[in-house]
Amino acid sequence: MPARRSTNRNSESVDNYLKAILALAGPEPTRPGDAAPRRVASNALATRLGVAPASVTNMLQKLAAAPDPLVEYERHRGVLLSSAGRRRALEVVRHHRLIETFLYRILDYPIEEVHDEAERLEHFISERFEERIAAKLGHPSTDPHGHSIPTLDGEMPQQHSILLTEVVAGGTFVVDSISDRDAPTLRSLQDSGMTPGARLRVSKSASAEGYSVRIGRSAKALDLTREVAREIRILPLAK
C-alpha cells in the first residue's frame, strides 16, 4: 500500500487546488471523439477558491515545478492536471464523498451539513479508515447528492446526465444529482422533494427567469430560478 501523504495545511491547500481544477476541467474522454478536459483559466480557479489571482499563479507555478509535477501550467493558457495530479484529486474526492455518505446514512447528519464536515475531514483519514467506511456502507457508487464516488483504483464513472438548464423542451426526467456547494439551496430543494432519483416533470414553457417543475406525483408547481436550475442534473426517464 502506498505511503500516506502528510496532512498539513500546505497539503490541504494543494488538495483543494487539485479538486477545483478537476471540477472545472470537465470529464476525461472515454471514447474516440470525446472532448479532452478543458484548460482551466487562473481567474476561474481564483473565483472557485475565493483567493487572489496572484496567489493562484504562485501556487500553479509551484505545482508545475515540483519533482513529480501535479499540473501542466502555461501562463495565459491555463492549467491541466498531470496524471499524478488527477490521481491525487480523485483520491481526495473519493474520501470526501465516502465521508459525506457515512455522515448522512450512519450518523444522521442533515443533508446541508455533510459537505462542510467532509471538507474538514477528507485530508486526514487513513487508507484503512477509507476501506472500513466503504465496506460499512456496502461500497456505494454515489454520495447523498447523487455524485459518483471515484473507484478505489482511481476511475471516475462516466456521467450521462445534463443540467436542468440544458433542457430545450418539456418532458419527464429523473433527478441524477444536486450540487452541494450551496447548503441553504440544498436544504430547500430536499424539503421540496427534490432528491436524487425523484421524478421531475419540466414545463415546456421555461421562462427567461427560470423553470416550472413538478416533483413526483405532485400537481403543485415548483418555480426554480436559472441559478438554482444550474445546480440540478437530470436524466431522461427510462421508457
Q: Are 104 and 98 in contact (CB under 8 A)?
A: no
Nearby residues of 14 by Cβ (< 8 Å), 6 or more positions away? 59, 63, 70
- Band of the pLDDT at 106, cuts 50, 70, 90? very high
Residues in the chain: 239
| Spatial CA neighbour of 201 closest among 228, 183, 230, 224 | 224
Q: Which cell numbers hold the place of 175?
A: 433527478
pLDDT for 7 equals 46
Distance of CA 230 to the CA centre of its chain: 13
pLDDT for 170 equals 82
Rounded CA-CA distance 161/167 in Å is 11
**Which is more confidently placed, 168 or 69?**
69
Q: Are 53 and 44 in contact (CB under 8 A)?
A: no
pLDDT for 28 equals 61
pTM for the whole structure? 0.87
Radius of gyration for the chain, computed over Cα atoms and rounded to the nearest angstrom: 19
Nearby residues of 12 by Cβ (< 8 Å), 6 or more positions away? 123
Rounded CA-CA distance 94/121 in Å is 12
Map out the domains of the chain with their CATH numbers: 1-157 (1.10.10.10), 162-236 (2.30.30.90)
Please, how many CA atoms are within 13 Å of residue 114, restricted to the half-sphere of its CB? 24
- Band of the pLDDT at 3, cuts 50, 70, 90? very low
Q: Which cell numbers hold the place of 77?
A: 493558457
Handedness of CA 12, 16, 17, 19 (dihedral sign): positive
Q: Which cell numbers hold the place of 165?
A: 438548464
128-145 per-position pLDDT tens digit: 999 999 999 999 999 999
Rounded CA-CA distance 3/234 in Å is 39
| Spatial CA neighbour of 97 closest among 29, 40, 50, 152 | 152
pLDDT for 239 equals 61
User: Please, what is the end-to-end C-alpha distance for the chain in angstroms?
Assistant: 45
Rounded CA-CA distance 28/45 in Å is 19
DSSP code of 63?
H
142-190 per-position pLDDT tens digit: 999 999 999 999 899 888 899 999 987 788 999 999 999 899 999 999 9
Q: Are 213 and 221 in contact (CB under 8 A)?
A: yes
28-45 per-position pLDDT tens digit: 644 445 556 789 999 999
pLDDT for 1 equals 37
**Which is more confidently placed, 159 or 84?**
84
pLDDT for 206 equals 55
